[in-house]
């Protein structure tokens, strides 16, 4: 989580310097949700996620160098510089995006789960999306099918309380969704998205159920983003107050875990300082690597992309 945090702080810096173009959505504040959830997976399980994907890619084990190079739009990026911030992919890690259309990837993830079942595998698919995606028809269609066909998929709603600058508090809308989930014959759980161990527990149980019984599950992680919606949105902006933000920053997932670990005697100040220095070095290395990587050549625009569909 610390690596994710420091990495994205460098992303913000690189964006300000014009090294990253296009959209750039930071995950700062939400690290416990992705980290706790992804920690429960096997390497052959699948992840399909939204445009807010850098930290989850790190949690999955994609090299920070390949992620930063992708953000810089360079050839050594994990999507060969053609995807950018919102479209991180790694076939090797079964990390199938990074998608820009709100809710658009939910049917894709459901298709992955269908394919797993069709082939008789015991993998699962973990699908992340924001709470605003539940207003999208694709969400309802996909959950209906997953419930009907009993697919091995775990849907994780990252309820960070805001959907691109709107001031809507969506807790009640999400509760309506809980009712829907029942209609789709799907179990639902709510978890504190700032508590990495709680997320790991709840998602871990769901993964186990999906793997052994091929049952889908809908999990709502209550979280909060500490930065703006994207780099073009101010940190507190017009739709939330600084006081509200400050209140949530008190439940910074990294601070919470640090306090727990220090209380248990699992890490001390010197250990933390070392960890911080180590992750900063990884981020600096990623930046230098990305900066030195060439832009994709013009011919790459017309390159065929060969996708291995056999495994
Ligand atoms: C179908 C669609 N409609 C609108 C947009 C524009 N848009 C981009 S992000 C966003 C808000 C999504 O909020 P949420 O799902 O809560 O995710 P968060 O950004 O909070 O992580 C919107 C409306 C889009 N990308 N796709
Ligand atoms: Mg949101």
pLDDT digits (tens, 9 = 90+) for 147-198: 999 999 999 999 998 888 554 555 555 666 666 677 787 889 999 999 999 9
Report residues near ion ligand 2: CB below 5 Å. 130-131, 160, 163
192 forms beta bridges with: 222
Contact 71, 290 (CB under 8 A): yes
Q: Where does residue 240 rank: exposed (0-12), middle (13-18), buried (19+ CB within 10 A)?
A: middle
Query: Ligand 2 centre and the CA of 163: distance in Å?
Result: 4
pLDDT at 311: 46
CA–CA distances in Å: residue 49 to residues 41, 75, 154, 264: 15, 22, 12, 34
- Model pTM? 0.95
What contacts 24+ positions apart, CB below 8 Å, involve 207-215? 207/40, 207/41, 207/45, 207/124, 207/126, 207/154, 210/124, 210/152, 210/153, 210/154, 211/122, 211/123, 211/124, 211/152, 212/122, 213/150, 214/117, 214/150, 214/151, 214/152, 215/150, 215/152, 215/187
Ligand 2 midpoint to CA 108 (Å): 20
Mutate to test the pocket of ligand 1, among 87, 132, 133, 165 (most ligand atoms within 8 A of CB): 132
Kindly identify the ligand whose nearest atom is closest to the C-alpha of 27: 1
Q: For residue 305, name the pLDDT band (cuts at 50, 70, 90).
A: low
Q: Angle 2-16/269-292 helices, nearest 10 degrees?
A: 40
The answer to whether the CB of 163 is under 6 A from ligand 1 is yes
Could you give the angle at which helices 171-183 and 137-149 cross, rounded to 10 degrees?
30
Q: Which atom of ligand 1 is nearest to the CA of 52?
A: 21
Question: 3-state DSSP call for residue 83?
Answer: coil
Query: Beta strand pairing status for 89-90 and 46-48?
Result: unpaired
Question: Is there an atom of ligand 1 within 6 Å of 138 CB?
Answer: no
Ligand 1 close to Cβ of residue 170 (< 6 A): no
Whole-angstrom distance, CA of residue 280 vs CA of residue 271: 14
Atom of ligand 1 nearest to the CA of 160: 20
Q: Is the pLDDT of residue 25 over 80?
A: yes
- Cα–Cα distance list, 234 to 4, 84, 240, 242 (Å): 21, 21, 10, 11
Model confidence over 141-152: pLDDT tens digits? 999 999 999 999
CB 5 within 8 A of CB 28: yes
Ligand 1 and 245: CB distance under 6 A: no
Pick the CATH number of 2-290 from 1.20.120.330, 3.40.50.970, 3.40.462.20, 3.50.50.60: 3.40.50.970
Nearest CA to ligand 1 atom 10: 164
Provide the pLDDT confidence category of residue 301 given band limits of 50, 70 and 90: confident
Q: Is 234 helix (H, G, I), strand (E, B) or coil?
A: coil
| Cβ 131 under 6 angstroms from ligand 1 | yes
């Amino acid at each position: 989580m610390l690596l994710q945090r420091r990495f994205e702080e460098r992303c913000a810096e690189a964006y300000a310097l014009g090294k990253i173009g296009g959209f750039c959505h930071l995950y700062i504040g939400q690290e416990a949700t992705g980290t706790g959830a992804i920690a429960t997976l096997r390497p052959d399980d699948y992840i399909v996620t939204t445009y807010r994907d850098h930290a989850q890619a790190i949690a999955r084990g994609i090299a920070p160098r390949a992620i930063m190079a992708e953000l810089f739009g360079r050839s050594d990026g994990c999507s060969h510089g053609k995807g950018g911030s919102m479209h991180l992919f790694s076939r090797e890690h079964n990390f199938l995006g990074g998608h820009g259309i709100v809710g658009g990837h939910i049917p894709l993830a459901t298709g992955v789960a269908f394919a797993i079942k069709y082939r008789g595998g015991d993998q699962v698919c973990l699908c992340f999306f924001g709470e605003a995606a539940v207003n999208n028809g694709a969400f309802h269609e996909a959950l209906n099918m997953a419930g009907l066909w009993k697919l091995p998929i775990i849907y994780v709603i990252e309820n960070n309380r805001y959907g691109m600058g709107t001031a809507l508090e969506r807790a009640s809308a999400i509760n309506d969704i809980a009712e829907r989930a029942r209609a789709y014959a799907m179990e639902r759980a709510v978890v504190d998205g700032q508590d990495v161990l709680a997320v790991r527990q709840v998602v871990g149980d769901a993964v186990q159920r999906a793997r052994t019984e091929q049952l889908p599950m809908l999990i709502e992680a209550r979280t909060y983003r500490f930065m703006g919606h994207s780099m073009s949105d101010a940190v507190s902006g017009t739709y939330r107050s600084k006081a509200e933000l400050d209140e949530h920053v008190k439940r910074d997932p990294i601070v919470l875990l640090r306090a727990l670990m220090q209380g248990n005697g699992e890490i001390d100040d010197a250990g933390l300082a070392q960890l911080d220095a180590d992750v900063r070095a990884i981020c600096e290395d990623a930046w230098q690597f990305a900066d030195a990587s060439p832009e994709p050549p013009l011919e790459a625009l017309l390159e065929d992309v060969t996708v291995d569909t056999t495994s």
